[in-house]
Amino acid sequence: MKRKPMTRIHPSSVLASLLIVGLPVAGPRPATAQGDQEAASAVRALGPRDVARVQSVGEVAIHPDGSTIAYTRNVPREPGRDEDGPAWSRLHVVAFDGSGDRVFVGGEVDVSHVRWSPDGRFLSFLARRSDDEHTSIYLIPARSGESYRLYQHETSVLAFDWRPDSRAIAFVAREVVPERVTELRARGFDQEIYEEDWVSRRLYVLELPGGPEGPPGGLRRIDVPGQPWHVVWGPNGRRLLTDLSPTPLIDDRYMFRRLHVLDANSGAVVSAIENPGKLGPFGFAPDGRSVVLISAADINDPREGRLMVVPTEGGTLRDLMPDLEGHVEAFAFTERDRIVYLASLGVGTRIARIRTDGREDGVYYQGTDPVFTNLSMSAESDRAALNGQAPTHPSEAFALRLESDAEPNRLTVSNPWLADVALADQRMVSWTAADGLEIQGLLIEPLQRAAGERVPTLVVVHGGPESHRDNGWLTSYAQPGQVAAGRGYAVLYPNYRGSTGRGVAFAKADQGDGMGAEFDDILAGIDYLIERGITDPDRVGITGGSYGGYATAWGATRHSERFAAGVMRVGVSDQLSKTGTSDIPRELELVHWLTNPYENPDLFLERSPVMYTENANTPLLILHGKEDPRVNPGQSLELYRALQMTTDVPVRLVLYPGEGHGNRRAASRYDYSLRMLRWFDWFLKEGKEELPPYEIDYGRDDEVS
């Protein structure tokens, strides 16, 4: 079959309904005059090798007295030079005012689950050091010193929490694989019994009779009616709060974790709290009389985001902000009946306080630059540690003093070299969809653009769809962001209906309608950029991962006339087979489609990109981890084969051995970046029609040929 001409359309009936709201942020404006372009060309733009070395702050944990903040820094390995693998995670401590930043645990280490002991004398964390058989609990004195292993279990410790008196730790770990199974595997009987031969998770209490400095005492297993994932001590040390799922399968973890209050000594269930759906962070109130949690509104709510309170003894859950058109991400108590919460609102963040009776009690921050995630409060409740990012920098550690007019104070600069890199303007945009719904997104304009010039544009579709882009750092190995802007592209990140940050109704607005109105929202965003004279309608590319990969496949087939190139990552092509080959079938049914392909096969076929390959004329690069449990690699194989057999459109499939639902290793990430950028440059900027060579020159940062 001969390839069809690449014609692109932008219906004027849709264009007439569009509007914009723009919020400029820090960063150079695109050049619009000859002199400006010459000056801008002398400034170095961000490149893919830069992206490969970007460091960022991970966890933050404030000392009980608020004097210092511990944080982890993610440090990538250098592709092609270091031994390949995921980024290292190193432990730092910095004073609340930003002074005295020190590396507590450095080198080739992976630190996680950072916690101060309640007495403030030790910093604890999980790590697997040189002679460890498993991930173990480590301590380091708060005033600095050598870290040492407090306890190594017979399997890896997965999560833990300190008892308030610092004389016991509760933790979660998997049970040991039975010896008979290990022996059989050694003899070659290593078959897998799908979703049946799982190993249980267990809850334990480790006594520390002499406190953190003394040797561990007795170990008790707490038998619970399910599979524990996290654990929190009650304020008096007599109760535990844990989230239990029926099995350790990921689908059960997503959809069916329910809270249980336990007697810490006997393990007896004090109360079973029926949170109505997906579950986020949880904890006891300071007086122990109530439990606070972030929960979904109901079983069909795509994302946890409601701040709820329930009596510890059980009872009816109460949503403290039922009308919040946003999603609560984190919370902490400041007093017995006052809660500080952090919420995503649109593309920004709110940090505020609310009483347990639902009365608002003050806003500490609300804005879009920077935006925040994670929240750690001091015991005195007047200081907080945060993760913050902005269009000009990735995640960093921030400090916030409550009860003052002070803005959050940035404590860390993980990438000082970014000061020498030219970054393009990033701003919020909004447009009106065909049915009148306001849709928001973020636009990175080209670093250099002549007045009136229409430029190639990349549409980056987020996954989920229960996720969203906020006005932070939008560049990574799979997100072209500032790298593409430095090459002359405009980059649009649409928060289509179904995204989070806008409340429950908006998050549910695409249910049962995959790639229906939600994809029309994306097309309307492109039309807006065309109407504004920014986008060249004949040079639009689309990319995304997971659900964003599904959108990419849909754009490259069902709406191929709109896209001149696509890069699909771990994406869906056949919705009929997706449910049967994924590890989240019940989530797909309950919060995405509200049905399943066995009840309604026609719908799932209709919304499958493989059904529209004869319509395809969009060159498509498909990339997938070979060990992906979420979206089976067969989804990519199906689309690749269908395009090969029904069209002569350029298509390439790249599989990454050892990678899952997204790349973790430095080399496979760098390879992905180079292939993605070359694919778009080849078809959108150079106008080629044949496949580019499949070899990559990893020594060139600007590899495009």
DSSP string, 144-167: ----EEEE--SS-EEEEEE-TTSS
Q: Do 430 and 390 share a structural domain?
A: no
Q: Positive or negative CA dihedral for 394, 396, 401, 403? A: positive
The pLDDT value recorded for residue 454 is 98
C-alpha 625/C-alpha 276 separation (Å) is 33
C-alpha 93/C-alpha 100 separation (Å) is 8
Does 701 fall in a domain?
no
C-alpha 475/C-alpha 201 separation (Å) is 36
Between 25 and 165, the higher pLDDT residue: 165
Q: Do 571 and 426 share a structural domain?
A: yes
Q: Could you tell me the CATH number of the domain that includes residue 317?
A: 2.120.10.30
Between 42 and 305, the higher pLDDT residue: 305
Q: Could you tell me the CATH number of the domain that includes residue 20?
A: 3.40.50.1820
Model confidence at 1: pLDDT above 60? no
C-alpha 539/C-alpha 566 separation (Å) is 11
Residue with tokens 């002074």: 99
Mean pLDDT, rounded, of the chain: 92
Model confidence at 96: pLDDT above 80? yes
Q: Do 602 and 664 share a structural domain?
A: yes
Q: Do 427 and 532 share a structural domain?
A: yes
Nearest to residue 306, comparing CAs of 335, 341, 336? Answer: 341
Model confidence at 36: pLDDT above 90? no
C-alpha 130/C-alpha 112 separation (Å) is 16
Count the helices and strands in the chain (H runs, E runs).
14, 37
Res. 705 pLDDT band, cuts 50 70 90:
very low
The pLDDT value recorded for residue 2 is 36
Res. 704 pLDDT band, cuts 50 70 90:
very low
Percent share of the chain, pLDDT over 70? 93
The pLDDT value recorded for residue 700 is 66
The pLDDT value recorded for residue 464 is 96
Domain end (from 390, 417, 444): 417
Does 304 fall in a domain?
yes
C-alpha 61/C-alpha 95 separation (Å) is 12
DSSP state of 579: H
Out of 32-46, 165-179, 312-326, pick the least confident: 32-46
C-alpha 681/C-alpha 687 separation (Å) is 8
Widest CA span in the chain? 78
Q: Do 561 and 641 share a structural domain?
A: yes
Q: Do the strands 258-263 and 239-245 form a parallel or antiparallel pair, or are they unpaired?
A: antiparallel
Residues 567-579 have pLDDT tens digits of: 999 999 999 999 9
Out of 17-21, 304-308, 321-325, pick the least confident: 17-21
Res. 701 pLDDT band, cuts 50 70 90:
low
Res. 18 pLDDT band, cuts 50 70 90:
very low
Cβ contact 354:334 at 8 Å: no
Cβ contact 470:348 at 8 Å: yes
Task: Compute the residue count for the chain.
Answer: 705
Residue 209: asked if its preceding bond is cis (omega within 30°), the reply is no
Does 183 fall in a domain?
no
Model confidence at 23: pLDDT above 70? no
The pLDDT value recorded for residue 678 is 98
Q: What is the distance between the terminal CA atoms of the chain, rounded to a whole angstrom? A: 27
The CA–CA distances, whole Å, from 471 to 296, 372, 399, 444 equal: 24, 10, 19, 10
Domains in the chain: how many in total? Answer: 2
Does 7 fall in a domain?
no
Cα 95 from chain centroid (whole Å)? 28
Q: Do 112 and 234 share a structural domain?
A: yes
Does 192 fall in a domain?
no
Q: Do 548 and 492 share a structural domain?
A: yes
Inter-axis angle of helices 517-531 and 547-557, nearest 10 = 70
The average pLDDT across 488-510 equals 98
Q: Do 422 and 393 share a structural domain?
A: no
Beta bridge partners of 493: 442
The pLDDT value recorded for residue 404 is 76
| Degrees to nearest 5, angle at CA 617 with 613 and 622 | 70
The pLDDT value recorded for residue 384 is 96
Does 31 fall in a domain?
yes
Residues 263-303 have pLDDT tens digits of: 999 999 999 999 999 999 999 999 999 999 999 999 999 99
For the sheet containing 68-75, what is the strand order?
56-62, 68-75, 88-95, 102-105
Domain end (from 385, 417, 449): 417
Q: Do 96 and 26 share a structural domain?
A: no
Does 157 fall in a domain?
yes
The pLDDT value recorded for residue 702 is 52
C-alpha 572/C-alpha 561 separation (Å) is 20
Model confidence at 397: pLDDT above 80? yes
Domain end (from 417, 450, 474): 417
Residues 530-587 have pLDDT tens digits of: 999 999 999 999 999 999 999 999 999 999 999 999 999 999 999 999 999 999 999 9
Q: Do 160 and 42 share a structural domain?
A: no
CB contact set of 359 (below 8 Å; sequence gap of 6+): none
Q: Do 116 and 42 share a structural domain?
A: no
Does 6 fall in a domain?
no
Domain coverage including residue 333: 55-175+199-417
Q: Do 426 and 405 share a structural domain?
A: no
Residues 584-633 have pLDDT tens digits of: 999 999 999 999 999 999 999 999 999 999 999 999 999 999 999 999 99
Structural Rg of the chain based on CA atoms = 26
The average pLDDT across 448-472 equals 97
The pLDDT value recorded for residue 131 is 87
Q: Positive or negative CA dihedral for 597, 612, 640, 465? A: negative
The average pLDDT across 377-400 equals 95
The average pLDDT across 409-414 equals 98
Residue 465: asked if its preceding bond is cis (omega within 30°), the reply is yes
The pLDDT value recorded for residue 375 is 96
Model confidence at 242: pLDDT above 70? yes
